[in-house]
Structure 1
Amino acid sequence: MTLMTAFTLPVHDAQNHFRRLLKAMSEPGVIVNLNNTPEGWLPLNSATTSVLLTLSDQDTPAWFTPELSSETAQQNLRFHTGAPLAVKASLATFAVVNEQVTAKQLADFAQGEDVSPETSATVIVQVKSLSGGHMLRLTGPGILEERMIAPQISDVVLNALTERSHSFPLGCDFVFTCGERLLAIPRTTLVEVFDVRSR
């Protein structure tokens, strides 16, 4: 096994990154910079690695899209957090994907249940950039009126965000990562493709 670094100060860094993640989830679309991130467990970037280190434990199975499913990442996740690998996508608490994720894969992730919506999956999407993509308008809790974002996401992911198949409180939360930065779009957020002509 190739052992990679985790947090330099495990308790302090995990607490700090948890606060940053909480900010991202409570203020959808706000880009958050993570400080003191570990080196990414290739092919995972630093932000994805930090999210997994901060939130994973033995009760949170992780699933990786084939393009990100390296032995190094899987072994280090188990070593540092105790998190098991999900044997299938529907059992994942955290799903780590990139722009090659398919609509079927996204549909397979847990959407929660009426009596336990918290059992839905969190989908971590590695992107090339958090800007320069489709202009999206976000509205909902944590947003005063509206917030504009433009992460570079695939049409499959865009459709999953704008055409949610389940009504709140069901559905997946999304976290988009690039380098040491991230933004979140929780299932409470309404996402629309922005058309300047609507102004």
Structure 2
Amino acid sequence: MDIGLDGGFSEPVRQAQSSFRAIMDALANPGTVQKFADPAPAHGPLSGELVSTLLTLSDQDTSIWVSETLRQTAGVEGFVAFHTGAPIVNETGHAVFAFAGAARELPSLDAFNLGTQEYPDRSTTIVLGVTAFAGGDEMVIRGPGIKDQRKISPVGLPTDFVAQWAANRELFPRGVDLLLVGDGAVMGLPRSTRIAEGH
């Protein structure tokens, strides 16, 4: 029986460090595509990009939520337990990180931990698998880490994403952060980013 022991990083320290660097660069430069230098292999429904992010950010002290679709797949919970030790929580509001392979697996952004005024950094960071980083509806983003503005068009966001994000942005300094992963790379959209539909 597959209990999730295979897969993961072949060189955990080096790969986690390079993946962490890509994730931090993505959050520091919102809307840019940062390649994972040496991503982990996919594990069942977990894409290589989801696996790389999961292994880099999660540990036994980090509560995570994984979508029902991922969690119902044999081997996923065993994989998470063996490779990270991270406790999987049922309630989105208790998650430090949340993982979903597609937008349809994701509840609304405000279902997650939005942090508090005193501890805004305790909010959830959502990791969402996307089909592509270009080719979707164009959006214009502004904010810290962006000179003037930047245009992005990822494929695979929730249909009402711009409205959901506007509500999230209004909560600042509270609110969730978002990591989009796919195509061997990651794109960061921190809560400080303003997003509008492109024209």
Same fold (TM over 0.5): yes
Find out whether 1:13 has 2:22 as its counterpart.
Answer: no
Per-residue CA shift, 1:35-73, capped at 9, x if unaligned? Answer: 221111221111111011001011211112222222322
Find out whether 1:75 has 2:70 as its counterpart.
Answer: no
Find out whether 1:150 has 2:153 as its counterpart.
Answer: yes
Q: Secondary structure at the match of 2:55?
A: helix
Equivalent residue letter for 1:131: A
Equivalent residue letter for 2:117: D
Query: Does 111-120 or 179-188 show the bigger shift?
Result: 179-188
Is residue 109–residue 176 contact of structure 2 (8 Å, CA) maintained in 1?
Answer: no
Q: Secondary structure at the match of 2:60?
A: coil
Q: TM-score, with normalisation over the residues of structure 2?
A: 0.91
> Could you list the runs of 5+ residues in structure 2 that have no partner in the other structure?
none
Aligned mate of 1:110, from 83, 90, 113? 113
**What is the aligned partner in structure 2 of residue 61 from structure 1?**
63
Shift of 1:81: 1.0
Equivalent residue letter for 1:169: P
Q: Secondary structure at the match of 2:7?
A: coil
Equivalent residue letter for 2:59: D
Aligned residues: 194
Find out whether 1:40 has 2:33 as its counterpart.
Answer: no
* 4+ residue segments displaced more than 4 Å: none
Shift of 1:165: 6.4
CA distance in 1, matches of 2:44, 2:160: 24
Equivalent residue letter for 2:166: T
> Could you list the runs of 5+ residues in structure 1 that have no partner in the other structure?
none
Q: TM-score, with normalisation over the residues of structure 1?
A: 0.91
Shift of 1:166: 4.3
Q: Secondary structure at the match of 2:180?
A: strand
Equivalent residue letter for 2:7: T
Identity percentage of aligned residues = 29
Find out whether 1:140 has 2:135 as its counterpart.
Answer: no
Shift of 1:102: 5.2
Per-residue CA shift, 1:88-113, capped at 9, x if unaligned? Answer: 1111111112220455x432100000
Per-residue CA shift, 1:157-195, capped at 9, x if unaligned? Answer: 343223326421100000111131110100010111111
Find out whether 1:100 has 2:104 as its counterpart.
Answer: yes
Equivalent residue letter for 1:129: A
The RMSD of aligned alpha carbons is: 1.6
